[in-house]
Amino acid sequence: MIYDRLMRDAPYDDWVSFTEKHLTKKNADILELGCGTGEITLRLAEKGHRVTGVDVSGDMLTVANEKAAEALNIKWLRQDIRSLEGLENFDCVVSYCDVLNYMNTHTDLLRVFHHAFEAIKPGGCFIFDVHSIEHLSRDMAGETFAEVYDDISYIWFCNEGDRINQVEHDLTFFIEENGVYERFDEYHYQTGYAMADLNALLNETGFEHIQAFADFSGRKAMDDSAGDRLFFVCEKS
């Protein structure tokens, strides 16, 4: 799958290590929101956790299921994370790889937080990451990225979106098959949120003991410029 080819250098093991550092029990029941092709889901299952991976893309979940060994304790569900149904009694809910930046309104973000809260057992935790506002504006908005391989290439324009702190991703892929290149275009939008806004929404949802960390360092994030990627760890009493 194109996604896996282009994400092969992603720090999946670091996300798993960060998760395990903040879990309160071994062999936990974990729900992953926006699991994509299952790279983090699979690694968590290999560590002995029981994992449910949720994604809105059927194609992504098909690839994820093909990767999973039958012995691994994984369930795959196709749902929109803004309107989850039938999910409860998890020790931990995670959402990584800036999935929540794709929630482009406070309303949608609050819906995800609410469903995560409802899915977690008392005493459990919600862990997620987001691109910081500074990273989106400094390193992405107005930039162009490209890569060329023998059988695939892409060009990626990052433009300022219509909303404040929003970035539009305009991607064009060229994929070779039997000597012929086919073009595919995709458009995505990501929105950055201030730490103060995220904390307010999490508190409104009912989460407590909210901690923010800068990148994978484990260093506490004191403001929006603390890191390119901000991690939040929240508890449900």
Each residue's pLDDT tens digit, 209-237: 999 999 999 999 999 999 999 999 999 99
138-158, pLDDT tens digit by residue?
999 999 999 999 899 999 999
CATH code for the domain of 60: 3.40.50.150
Find the CATH number of the domain harbouring 155.
2.20.25.110
Residue corresponding to tokens 């749902």: 79
The answer to whether residue 71 scores a pLDDT higher than 70 is no
Is the domain of 16 the same as that of 36? Answer: yes
Residues 8 and 68 in one domain: yes
Residue ranges making up the domain that contains 21:
2-132+193-235
111 and 203 together in one domain:
yes
| Domain count within the chain | 2
Segment 56-63 long-range contacts (CB within 8 Å, at least 24 positions apart):
56/80, 56/81, 59/1, 60/1, 60/3, 60/35, 60/36, 61/35, 63/1, 63/3, 63/4, 63/37, 63/38
pLDDT tens profile 167-221: 999 999 999 988 899 999 999 999 999 999 999 999 999 999 999 999 999 999 9
What local confidence, expressed as pLDDT, does residue 112 receive?
98
Same domain, 34 and 126: yes
pLDDT band at 113 (very low <50, low <70, confident <90, very high): very high
Residues 121 and 7 in one domain: yes
Question: Do 166 and 199 sit in the same domain of this protein?
Answer: no
Angstrom distance (rounded) from CA 201 to CA 195: 10
Residues 140 and 120 in one domain: no
Which band of pLDDT confidence, cut at 50, 70 and 90, is reported for residue 129?
Answer: very high
How much is the pLDDT for 187?
95
Sorted by sequence, the CB contacts under 8 Å of residue 151 that are 6+ apart come out as 175, 176
Q: Are 105 and 139 in the same domain?
A: no
